[in-house]
Homo-oligomer: A and B are copies of this chain.
Amino acid sequence: MGIHERKEREREQRREVILNAAQKVFFEKGLQSATMDEIAEEAELSKGTLYLYYKGKEDLYLAVMIRGIETLYDLFKEVIGKNDGIIMTIQKLSAVYIRFFREHGNLFRMFHYYQTPQFHKQVSEEILQLCNEANQRIWKMVVDLLRKGVDEGVLRSDLNPEENAVILWSSASAILMRMDTRREEFKQMLNVDLENVLRKSNALLLESMMTESSRKQFQSALFDHQPS
């Protein structure tokens, strides 16, 4: 009796149709201005049906975001899988994150929006849990890389990988976010190009996390080289 399996499959497909529709509308309008009616129309379903698959608008938004985290996860995984050496890999991750921001700005913005406490309150426990798990996977991957850096003697052993991961990631995210909303403002106000600032910030932090010996090895490469 494969009926159950088929129904399960159909249910998954519906969820995906809805998710795609939601993504499209959210990207075009943003969370506030997007309406459930619009999403329903885009999905060629009635509004009521959406609520059979997702708890509400915010849950749907988070569900789209989770797919985004997974996209980024795949990109990161690919880079790390190449085994290019720790320092090079970190620089590539940073470049990939910037590219992700450029090519999937809408998803990146979601990551940022997700940080607001107000948003957290409007979302169901279940989806929040899923989100945490997706987050965890990607963080762990980065932490593991940094730990390997310590083990190999490339990164200072007196700084712990978990903390370094948070530091590197946070500073990159914050500058990218500013770039998204206020690049021009900063150009005019302080005459700085935020993309440049981001590169310098990464270089500064990475350099200060490296051991004396590896610093010598990579010296000039840090500031000048731009991995694709």
What residues make up the interface of A, taking CB atoms closer than 8 Å to B? 30-33, 109, 112-113, 115-118, 120-122, 132, 135-136, 139, 143, 159-160, 162-163, 165-167, 170-171, 173-175, 177-178, 180-182, 185-186, 189-192, 194, 196-197, 200-201, 204-205, 207-209
Q: Which residues of B contact A207 (CB under 8 A)?
A: 208
The binding surface of chain A is classed by DSSP as helix
Q: Which residues of B contact A136 (CB under 8 A)?
A: 189
- The answer for the CA separation of A125 and B222 in the assembled complex, in Å, is 41
A181 engages B120 (CB within 8 Å):
yes
A-B CB contact pairs (8 Å), 6 listed? A30-B117, A109-B116, A115-B177, A163-B196, A167-B204, A170-B178
Q: Which residues of B contact A175 (CB under 8 A)?
A: 166-167, 170
With A166-B197, A201-B167 in contact, do A139 and B174 touch (Cβ < 8 Å)? Answer: no
B170 engages A32 (CB within 8 Å):
no
B178 engages A118 (CB within 8 Å):
no
